[in-house]
């Protein structure tokens, strides 16, 4: 039977060829495994096609078919095959195994396994292990009110929906960090393998410690075809593919073929070899207490796409070709001959031998599966909220800046918050990690290294002692891939832990789509009763647009907030703390929250501080509010409202307020700051929203409002749509104007600098008429002078750089 | 000297170690190359630090320094070193070479080369080859009004800014497709290598035909460090790295070390080996007319980060460590000792030996560079608009649907447009390509295969004959990586050609950040006088949100338009043609345009057709307009305006209009359709915008407007901000509600279905009062019945699926 794998790329047919030889299974086991496989495939077809007559006790007729045929067949067989072989080893070695399904739309493959091992019916009693249950089980698939064709949140044991391809491995690694006993068996689609995020995520082994962490066992499924193309990895030589995987740091074992009996033997011995190696590496590292990076084992499984379908229909290839990708025979509703082909094919799996007359899987097959939580689809890691323990969080107030002189004190809020993060790390050494794409130090968070260094399982050099901050036992995860960082973090929290991603604002758009997908995942989880809530996905965005003057135009895009704001109000939160103490308060809040995507925007540089800790907590609790100390409209209606959201934006808005107060002391200016962006929305549309009544008490109904915003101005208009006095709202923000500038010049280009704001105020206050024309001109001249000085010197004038609020509080 | 490379990962120091041995350079050449290298490094430091005293003719003082020190030193040496060695081969073999600089912020390295070879001064005469010119050349770098620290559009010879990492290789491949003589020498940063997009782009060789295409010669720069971390590829064993690159399909040659003399010999012989191999492979393929995929040569260049800087400053490592990443010594303005270190370091390059007393590079060094357009930074490919020839475009009108019965005819507009694309391909066989992530067939564009199949240089199997549509000579580029497709396309158009990317809407967010970066590139190009305009980046988005009902929630996000709309009005255009003939007209327009990012949103399924070709052209020319045939307000003010943008949205809005006309025939309903989204903006803010006067004539000032939009509704509010009657505008669109549904159910969830729209109209028309309550209830019941039928059957009722406009035109 199984022969050695060959030299060049080959199609998937024939007797098994495998790296490891041997016949560990007896004939009886093979017989049962074949039966299980047939049951799996039968269930998959049932999901794709049937709404009635589930066991084909009657001849297959049109009325048994769904009206709209949806779903994917292509990768189902390979995934079922892999899952069932792991069952054998779970029983043999008492393993703790999670399954991540990478290939797109492969849900039938894994849902069939969950149904066969009984978990599905336990979770969804109406889809019981009988004819009626199977009918419902079939009908609900890709059917209104039912479940999708990915491993959606409704899928027991799934933490990875896979609607978008590329994240299976990074998610899988996220689940095994700090989970030393877990093996996450990960099907990697060969289509998915062509995506960038997947291609780089193979390198995750350089960040996996065999002592503290579990193991990922990837099965690269050389299914051969995508929607309509061969896959790259299935069409390079055997040697090239081996080199690639070895180069990524893995030890690939090959299992290739289509003949079932020999494939069972090959897969059984190969999977067992992999599990044994994993255990040996872990044992060695744990016994010697010496972490090392082994070449972790993995499997390349080459089977025909749509394995076990008819090879040809009407003279065109089906099994083993891209035509097997989705619904394998599409016209069964209109072509009676094809309906017959389908029936014959389904009957060839012999459902009557697999399920008893009640429609229940026969006992000898049931026994192939593990029991209880050892069943893959019942693994609690797949419903990670169950395992989640709240963080030990020190009192953030203790870390606050003291003796704040509002508008005068200049400090680095990010570096200070890092001390809080350091202690969060220290107090949660096995369930909190900080993630970031090589920017943690740059983002002023390096204080955390005192509690946990950067995880590094690559080679070490002598020079690393000079401030390298690397360790196999670190708590900070850094690779220059936003995709990998985000994927790890998602896997980590979905499996019940906590974390924070820190990233430059300029390039956070790199993971727009990943964050979208995660938002959709947690939103759907809210509709799935048995899903326990997981920690929020916390994203700290820093190195913000307003301090990207020197890096230039490429580094200027604050539009991630627009992408996030498009997601459901149930799951997204956006905070822009204006200073250090509010940053602490917001961070504490986010780390305690569940089931959100929290986005925190705060610059990493030193900035003016505004609020002492009590005021900061009060301000964050309200989410927005009037800053009395910066307003002079006490007891009266203001002439104008100056509002801000974002630290640099607040600084300039405050300076504008000071200019107005200095030059036009008779003006009444109210200063408002917004921390919690969604407070601006109507309470009808967002849980954090506020009533129109409260809105009016802050923003007035008839006074001009200048709103200096961190991001693109449109978002504020959107959030305040239909607010009373909305037409009085004049939003300033980044409007895609930038170059190599000083910070002041960048603000000026976008009309967000103090002078532009103050002049705008003068223009808007109708009662001033022309009386302030002289002041306006003075402001204009000061602006020009400042710009000119910046242009000549390459640095902003001192009075801009170190501006402070000139009015004492009392 | 040069010894063989070792077995494990090593730091970068010592005599050269290289795969190829030999000493091709004589001592005199080495002496000159060292001098050139010193000149390069001197210029780099000058750019980082100096605003005066460029040749250090006086002792270095504070006033010679820039006030704000910005820029990056880390990768400059390696890049300069590589460039200068290619110069030797350009002269020897008369090569056509473009340089792509992958590492972030490495501009000094390449700008110094452009200056030394004289191109910079030709392009910017005020930065002449003399002391005054050098002063300006230094001062402008990372200085207000000057140039950035990336290879920005101002950089002669650059098509790749590199502000965001990960796209160097895909851009490089884009330049060489259909450019058979071009070698694009591509520095790949080892930091950049960790990104997903870069990691998968190594596979581009599977799509490169050695007959028609040129070659990419990657130099993977193992610089060792990122901002604050070692790089993964510099910390895996030599064998593992070799395996990885071999696995990616390359033949890696190593050049490692720091000793300059031996490094020159090693680099010279290795680079020559690579160029020779490239030429041999091309010759073989071209002479035999047999395309094949060789293992293309590449170089791994391991040099110390910040090579040639002091190894230590104050006992801390500088050269060869991450501290050399940005400004190598940061406190020279405040630490006199460090100022002295800098001066000593700069003088060690002996500028007085390199530049004559006028500040001009000495003649014997000038002679090292090629001349004219053979100089890398003068290569016209680097200003691809110069080489751009307009497409031969057949008359799109000839492809139009004829005999359109507005609202009755049902046809597939996308499949029809594919015939037009087919002929565009056929008539432009060496300067137009179609790109897409494995979706061209799925997107109904497979007709193009008749003119050009899919490029495939992987292995072929027998089964490919059954509809594989693969060919080494194809014109369609498909890999399951949106990043790679987009990167190829960008490189292809920036080097003077034309193309189109087709992609599913669900996952176009994957390339949000890439598209942002491209928008910024072309916008900045508008400010650079000598940049000739390039073809627009055309993105056809299909498989849209409203036909993702069956794929579920993960596939539903139409928000790419929000991301695009944030970019400058100078460069972005968005079109939503409602039917097949308008799609043709829009496509023709986009293919002819230059310097835009054009986004076209159109579903791929069969839909109702509305406009014959003349009407389509007229409608697209106006960008939006009243559809008289669907309106009944002729000669009067309407009671309500029903507007739509997007094909499915238009269909439902039209059906709503029909319901209103049927049930409330006395109502006057005006039907408006928008093709060109930016027509909605004020003419003040966008070149396509329209005046308020025109707005009023279409949308009225006081009538309710229901606007059924393809994407998230906010975008319409944003675009129509401050329009007269803006408060009458009621926008419906996708609001993040979805599941496994039928199309009708999905629309209903988001209130965009015909019944919801018609009921909204009744609610909004105040003159109706309660008189229409009965009609409203009838609509509600019909809606419920339709939903119920859909839910039971899994398919929408016939009257929904095949709805047609019930009123004859006249």
- DSSP string across A251-266: EEEEEE---HHHHHHH
Could you tell me if B243 lies within 8 Å of chain A, comparing CB atoms?
yes
Residues B343, B464, single domain; the answer is no
Could you tell me if B236 lies within 8 Å of chain A, comparing CB atoms?
yes
Residues B528, B633, single domain; the answer is no
Backbone angles phi, psi at B179, to 5 degrees: -130, 70
Could you tell me if A454 lies within 8 Å of chain B, comparing CB atoms?
yes
Could you tell me if B107 lies within 8 Å of chain A, comparing CB atoms?
no
Contact B202, B162 (CB under 8 A): no
Residue B16, pLDDT above cutoff 50: yes
Residues B590, B645, single domain; the answer is no
Could you tell me if B415 lies within 8 Å of chain A, comparing CB atoms?
no
Q: How far apart are CA A437 and CA B165, in angstroms?
A: 12
Nearest CA in chain B to A232: B458
Nearest CA in chain B to A198: B196
How far apart, in Å, are the Cα atoms of B647 and each of A195, B76, B417, B674? 30, 51, 15, 10
Q: Taking a contact as any Cβ pair under 8 Å apart, which residues of chain B between 477 and 496 contact chain A?
A: 478-484
- B345 occurs within a structural domain: yes
Contact A511, A446 (CB under 8 A): no
Tokens of B779: 């609509």
Length of chain B: 810
Residue A305, pLDDT above cutoff 70: yes
- The answer to whether the Cβ–Cβ distance between B459 and A714 falls below 8 Å is no
* DSSP letters spanning A445-466: -GGGGGT--EE--S---GGGGT
SS3 A429: coil
Domain extent for B565: 396-607
Distance from CA of A728 to the nearest CA of B (A): 11
Residues B601, B631, single domain; the answer is no
Q: How many CB atoms lie within 10 A of CB B467?
A: 16
Could you tell me if B135 lies within 8 Å of chain A, comparing CB atoms?
no
- The answer to whether the Cβ–Cβ distance between A66 and B794 falls below 8 Å is yes
Question: Mutate which of B148, B154, B220, B229 to test chain A, going by most A C-beta atoms within 10 A?
Answer: B229
Tokens of B411: 């046809």
Residue B3, pLDDT above cutoff 60: no
Task: Read off the pLDDT of residues B503-556 as tens digits, 9 standing for 90 and up.
Answer: 999 999 999 999 999 999 999 999 999 999 999 999 999 999 999 888 889 999
How far apart, in Å, are the Cα atoms of A258 and each of A101, A304, A324? 21, 7, 15
C-alpha closest to that of A463 among B236, B259, B305: B305
Torsion sign across C-alpha atoms A143, A147, A148, A150: negative
Beta partners for B230? B225
Query: Residue B664's domain is classified under what CATH number?
Result: 3.40.50.920
Average pLDDT for A99-113: 96
- Name the residue facing B552 among A11, A148, A470 (closest C-beta): A148
Residues B145, B193, single domain; the answer is yes
Q: Taking a contact as any Cβ pair under 8 Å apart, which residues of chain B between 156 and 195 contact chain A?
A: 161, 163-166, 191-192, 194-195
Distance from CA of B647 to the nearest CA of A (A): 21
The percent of residues in chain A predicted with pLDDT above 70, rounded, is 99
A181 contact partners, CB below 8 Å, separation of at least 6: A96, A214
The residue among B339, B362, B385 that closes a domain is B362
- Name the residue facing A512 among B439, B478, B512 (closest C-beta): B512
- Match 């996905």 to its residue by tokens: A537
Contact B54, B354 (CB under 8 A): no
Which helix (DSSP H) or strand (DSSP E) does residue B251 occupy?
Answer: strand B250-256
Average pLDDT for A139-155: 94
**pLDDT at residue number B552:** 87
Query: Residue B447's domain is classified under what CATH number?
Result: 3.40.50.970
Backbone angles phi, psi at B304, to 5 degrees: -65, 140
Could you tell me if B650 lies within 8 Å of chain A, comparing CB atoms?
no
- B738 occurs within a structural domain: yes
Residues B601, B675, single domain; the answer is no
Residue A751, pLDDT above cutoff 90: yes
Task: Read off the pLDDT of residues A333-360 as tens digits, 9 standing for 90 and up.
Answer: 999 999 999 999 999 999 999 999 999 9
Average pLDDT for A48-67: 97
Could you tell me if B319 lies within 8 Å of chain A, comparing CB atoms?
no
- The answer to whether the Cβ–Cβ distance between B196 and A192 falls below 8 Å is no
B9 band by pLDDT with thresholds 50, 70 and 90: low
The residue among B582, B607, B632 that closes a domain is B607
Could you tell me if B200 lies within 8 Å of chain A, comparing CB atoms?
yes
A12 band by pLDDT with thresholds 50, 70 and 90: confident
Could you tell me if A476 lies within 8 Å of chain B, comparing CB atoms?
no
- The answer to whether the Cβ–Cβ distance between B246 and A240 falls below 8 Å is yes
Average pLDDT for B41-54: 97
Mean pLDDT of chain A: 95
Q: How far apart are CA B690 and CA B676, in angstroms?
A: 11
Angle at B242 between CA B236 and CA B243, to 5 degrees: 95
Residues B223, B319, single domain; the answer is yes
* DSSP letters spanning A306-339: TTTS-SEETTEE-TTSGGGSSSSSTTTTT-HHHH
Residue B8, pLDDT above cutoff 70: no
Distance of CA A58 to the CA centre of its chain: 46
Residue B337, pLDDT above cutoff 60: yes
B315 contact partners, CB below 8 Å, separation of at least 6: none
- The answer to whether the Cβ–Cβ distance between A196 and B192 falls below 8 Å is no
Q: How many domains does chain B have?
A: 3
Q: Which residues of A touch B199 (CB under 8 A)?
A: 196, 199-200, 203
- A616 occurs within a structural domain: no
Backbone angles phi, psi at A32, to 5 degrees: -70, -40
Could you tell me if B593 lies within 8 Å of chain A, comparing CB atoms?
no
- The answer to whether the Cβ–Cβ distance between B551 and A163 falls below 8 Å is yes
Residues A455, A598, single domain; the answer is yes
- Name the residue facing B566 among A460, A467, A562 (closest C-beta): A562
Q: How many CB atoms lie within 10 A of CB A351?
A: 21
A2 band by pLDDT with thresholds 50, 70 and 90: very low
- The answer to whether the Cβ–Cβ distance between B200 and A196 falls below 8 Å is yes
Residues A193, A249, single domain; the answer is yes
How many interface pairs between A and B have CB atoms less than 8 angstroms apart? 378
Q: Which residues of B touch A201 (CB under 8 A)?
A: 196
- A751 occurs within a structural domain: yes
Q: How many CB atoms lie within 10 A of CB B585?
A: 24
Could you tell me if A320 lies within 8 Å of chain B, comparing CB atoms?
yes
**pLDDT at residue number A47:** 97
A3 band by pLDDT with thresholds 50, 70 and 90: low
Class of residue A702 by CB neighbours under 10 A (exposed 0-12, middle 13-18, buried 19+): exposed
Distance of CA A513 to the CA centre of its chain: 9
Residue A435 backbone zone (phi > 0: left; psi -120 to 50: alpha; other: beta): beta
Q: How far apart are CA A436 and CA B387, in angstroms?
A: 42
Average pLDDT for A700-709: 96
Q: How much is the ipTM here?
A: 0.97
Comparison of pLDDT for B554 and A100, the residue scoring more: A100
**pLDDT at residue number B2:** 42
Q: How far apart are CA B807 and CA B665, in angstroms?
A: 12
How far apart, in Å, are the Cα atoms of A159 and each of A373, A513, B196, B324? 16, 17, 22, 41
Could you tell me if B788 lies within 8 Å of chain A, comparing CB atoms?
no
**pLDDT at residue number B294:** 97
Residue A302, pLDDT above cutoff 80: yes
**pLDDT at residue number A767:** 87
Could you tell me if B62 lies within 8 Å of chain A, comparing CB atoms?
no
B4 band by pLDDT with thresholds 50, 70 and 90: low
Beta partners for B504? B542
Q: Helix/strand/coil (H, E, C) string of B493-511?
A: HHCCCEEEEEEECCCHHHH
Could you tell me if B458 lies within 8 Å of chain A, comparing CB atoms?
yes
Tokens of B72: 């990056």
- A653 occurs within a structural domain: yes
Contact A489, A539 (CB under 8 A): no
- A768 occurs within a structural domain: yes
Q: How far apart are CA A253 and CA A18, in angstroms?
A: 7
CB crowding A512-528: b at 16 or more within 10 Å, else e: bbbbbbbbbbbbbbeee
**pLDDT at residue number A1:** 37
- A389 occurs within a structural domain: no
Residues A681, A533, single domain; the answer is no
Class of residue B676 by CB neighbours under 10 A (exposed 0-12, middle 13-18, buried 19+): buried
Q: Taking a contact as any Cβ pair under 8 Å apart, which residues of chain B between 497 and 556 contact chain A?
A: 506-507, 509-510, 512-513, 516-517, 520, 523-524, 550-556
Residues B543, B638, single domain; the answer is no
A234 contact partners, CB below 8 Å, separation of at least 6: A9, A190, A222, A223, A224, A225, A302
- B614 occurs within a structural domain: no
Residues B589, B653, single domain; the answer is no
- The answer to whether the Cβ–Cβ distance between A736 and B567 falls below 8 Å is yes
Residue B767, pLDDT above cutoff 90: no
Could you tell me if A724 lies within 8 Å of chain B, comparing CB atoms?
no
Contact B187, B156 (CB under 8 A): no
The residue among A330, A352, A380 that closes a domain is A380
Residue B7, pLDDT above cutoff 60: no
B501 band by pLDDT with thresholds 50, 70 and 90: very high
SS3 A77: helix
Contact B707, B732 (CB under 8 A): yes
Angle between helices B168-176 and B482-494 (to 10 degrees): 50
Tokens of A278: 């994993």
Average pLDDT for A181-205: 98
B125-129 contacts, C-beta under 8 A, 24 or more apart: B129/B359, B129/B360, B129/B361
**pLDDT at residue number A771:** 85
């Amino acid at each position: 039977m199984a022969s050695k794998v060959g030299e060049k790329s080959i199609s998937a047919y024939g007797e098994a060829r495998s790296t490891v030889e041997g016949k560990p299974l007896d004939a009886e086991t093979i017989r049962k495994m074949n039966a299980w496989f047939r049951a799996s495939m039968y269930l998959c077809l049932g999901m794709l096609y049937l709404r009635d007559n589930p066991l084909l006790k009657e001849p297959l007729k049109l009325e048994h078919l769904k009206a709209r045929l949806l779903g994917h067949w292509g990768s189902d067989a390979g995934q079922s095959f892999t899952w069932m072989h792991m069952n054998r080893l779970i029983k043999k070695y008492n393993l703790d195994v999670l399954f991540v399904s990478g290939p797109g739309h492969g849900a039938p493959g894994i849902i069939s396994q969950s149904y066969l091992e009984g978990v599905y019916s336990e979770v969804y009693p109406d889809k019981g292990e009988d004819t009626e249950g199977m009918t419902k089980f079939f009908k609900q698939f890709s059917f209104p009110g039912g479940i999708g064709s990915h491993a959606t949140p409704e899928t027991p044991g799934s933490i990875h929906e896979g609607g978008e391809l590329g994240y299976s491995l990074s998610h899988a690694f996220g689940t095994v960090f700090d989970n030393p006993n877990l093996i996450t068996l990960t099907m990697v689609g060969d289509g998915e393998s062509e995506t960038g995020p997947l291609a780089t995520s193979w390198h995750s082994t350089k960040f996996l410690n065999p002592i503290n962490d579990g193991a990922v066992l990837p099965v690269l499924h050389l299914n051969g075809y995508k929607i309509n193309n061969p896959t790259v990895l299935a069409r390079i030589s055997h040697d090239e593919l081996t080199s690639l995987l070895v180069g990524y740091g893995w030890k690939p074992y090959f299992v290739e073929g289509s003949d079932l009996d020999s494939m069972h033997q090959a897969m059984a011995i190969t999977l067992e070899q992999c599990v044994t190696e994993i255990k040996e590496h872990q044992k060695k590292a744990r016994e010697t207490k010496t972490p090392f990076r082994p070449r972790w084992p993995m499997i390349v499984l080459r089977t025909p796409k749509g394995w076990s379908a008819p090879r040809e229909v009407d003279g065109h290839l089906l099994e083993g070709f891209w035509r097997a990708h989705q619904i394998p025979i599409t016209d069964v509703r209109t072509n009676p001959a094809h309906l017959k082909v389908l029936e014959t094919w389904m009957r060839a799996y012999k459902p009557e031998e697999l399920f008893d007359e009640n429609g229940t899987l026969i006992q000898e097959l049931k026994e192939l599966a593990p029991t209880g939580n050892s069943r893959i689809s019942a693994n609690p890691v797949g419903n990670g909220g169950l395992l989640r323990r709240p963080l030990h969080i020190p009192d953030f107030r203790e870390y606050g800046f003291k003796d704040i002189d509002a508008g005068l004190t200049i400090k680095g809020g990010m570096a200070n918050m890092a001390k809080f993060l350091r202690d969060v790390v220290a107090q949660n050494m096995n369930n909190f990690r900080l993630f970031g794409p090589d920017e943690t130090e740059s983002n002023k968070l390096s204080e955390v290294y005192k509690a946990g260094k950067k995880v590094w399982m690559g080679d070490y050099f002598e020079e690393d002692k000079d401030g390298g901050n690397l360790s196999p036992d670190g708590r900070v995860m850094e690779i220059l891939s936003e995709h990998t960082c985000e994927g790890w973090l998602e896997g980590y929290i979905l499996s019940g832990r906590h974390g924070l991603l820190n990233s430059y604002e300029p390039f956070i758009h790199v993971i727009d789509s990943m964050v979208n997908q995660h938002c959709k995942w947690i939103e759907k989880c809210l509709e799935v009763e048995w899903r326990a809530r997981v920690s929020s996905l916390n994203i700290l965005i820093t190195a913000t647009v307003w301090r990207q003057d020197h890096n230039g135009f490429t580094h200027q895009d604050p539009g991630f907030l627009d992408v996030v704001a498009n997601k459901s109000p149930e799951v997204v939160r956006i905070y822009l703390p204006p200073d250090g103490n509010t940053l602490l308060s917001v961070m504490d809040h986010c780390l305690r929250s569940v089931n959100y995507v929290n986005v925190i925007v705060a610059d990493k540089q030193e900035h003016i501080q505004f609020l002492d800790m009590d005021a900061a907590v009060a301000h964050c609790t309200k989410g927005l509010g009037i800053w009395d100390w910066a307003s002079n409209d006490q007891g009266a209606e203001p002439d104008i409202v100056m509002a801000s959201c974002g630290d640099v934006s607040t600084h300039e808005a405050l300076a504008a307020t000071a200019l107005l107060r200095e030059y036009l002391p008779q003006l009444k200016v109210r200063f408002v700051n917004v921390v919690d962006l969604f407070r601006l929305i109507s309470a009808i549309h967002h849980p954090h929203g506020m009533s129109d009544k409260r809105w009016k008490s802050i923003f007035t109904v008839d006074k001009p409002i200048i709103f200096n915003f961190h991001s693109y101005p449109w978002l504020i208009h959107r959030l305040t749509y239909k607010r009373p006095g909305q037409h009085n709202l004049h939003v300033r923000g980044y409007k895609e104007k930038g170059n190599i500038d000083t910070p002041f010049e960048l603000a000026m280009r976008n009309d967000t600098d103090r002078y532009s704001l103050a002049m705008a105020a003068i223009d808007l206050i109708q009662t001033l008429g022309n009386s302030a024309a002289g002041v306006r001109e003075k402001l204009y001249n000061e602006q020009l002078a400042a710009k000119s000085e910046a242009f000549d010197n390459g640095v902003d004038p001192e009075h801009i750089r170190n501006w402070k609020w000139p009015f004492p509080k009392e």
